[in-house]
Amino acid sequence: MKGLLGLLKRSTPRQGDDDRPDSLMFTTAFADQGVNPSMLVPWEARANEIGAKRLSASRGSKLLQALWSKDKYMMRLATDAVPRLEQFFDFATVQANRDIIRQEEYGNFMIVLLTGTIAVDRVQPWGTRLRLAEARPGDILGEMSLLDSGMRFSACSSLTECEIAILSAQALDDMMAADAALAASLIALLARKLSLRLRVVSARLSENKN
């Protein structure tokens, strides 16, 4: 979260600062952190690589609404939040055994698993591939890199055919411009869920060392 905190800090004007626009744009955050654009893997490139197929927005939104209405954190969004979010998400179907997210790459998108199962693995420095979790419908993956502009911590691969919702950095910027309250609520809930998941992963990695 270091990158996100740095962006938030820079958003507060200081005496002597110039009038350069926005320091909170997610589309420019990777460059702000020194990441060469050629190293960035956007969803469009990954979708083409793994042969992802477009899923109708009506089905994707319906699935997202059903899942988040049962999530103890995401259900705190306003009752009309998912219909408002629909225009900012892409929806896709991914076949089994596809690498949706790769460890230690830079990617400016996150996904919400709508149906199916995704393996979340981390290759340890000594070469062992550790299964951190098997994501289930409703789980959010890849949000850490989207929020802090850092490398992907783990690899996410489809174990079955999956339907997913994708939120890109550009879409998040568009949301901030068009519906700031919705964007603020979503980012706050993503950060909270991420913090809790990192605690679980940290405990899992500690157990593996013993």
Assign residue 77 the CATH number of its domain: 2.60.120.10
Confirm whether 8 is domain-assigned: no
Number of domains in the chain: 1
DSSP 20-42: ---S--HHHHHHHTT--GGGEE-
Pairing relation of β-strands 40-41 and 106-107? parallel
The predicted model gives 111-133 an average pLDDT of 93
- Radius of gyration for the chain, computed over Cα atoms and rounded to the nearest angstrom: 17
Q: What pLDDT score was predicted for residue 7?
A: 41
- pLDDT, one tens digit per residue, over 65-85 is 999 999 888 988 888 899 999
Q: Is the pLDDT of residue 198 over 60?
A: yes
Local structure of 144: helix, strand or coil: helix
Confirm whether 11 is domain-assigned: no
Confirm whether 202 is domain-assigned: no
pTM score, whole prediction: 0.82
Using CA atoms, how far residue 171 sits from 42, 123, 157, in Å, is 12, 30, 23
Rounded to whole angstroms, the Cα distance separating 177 from 171 reads 10
Confirm whether 85 is domain-assigned: yes
CA dihedral 1, 33, 188, 23 (to 10 degrees): 140
Q: In terms of Cα–Cα distance, which of 165, 52, 50, 62 is closest to 99?
A: 50
Domain hosting residue 122, numbered range: 34-194
The answer to whether 64 touches 112, Cβ cutoff 8 Å, is: yes
What is the sign, positive or negative, of the torsion defined by CA atoms of 29, 30, 33, 34? negative
Confirm whether 53 is domain-assigned: yes
Share of the chain above pLDDT 90, in %: 58
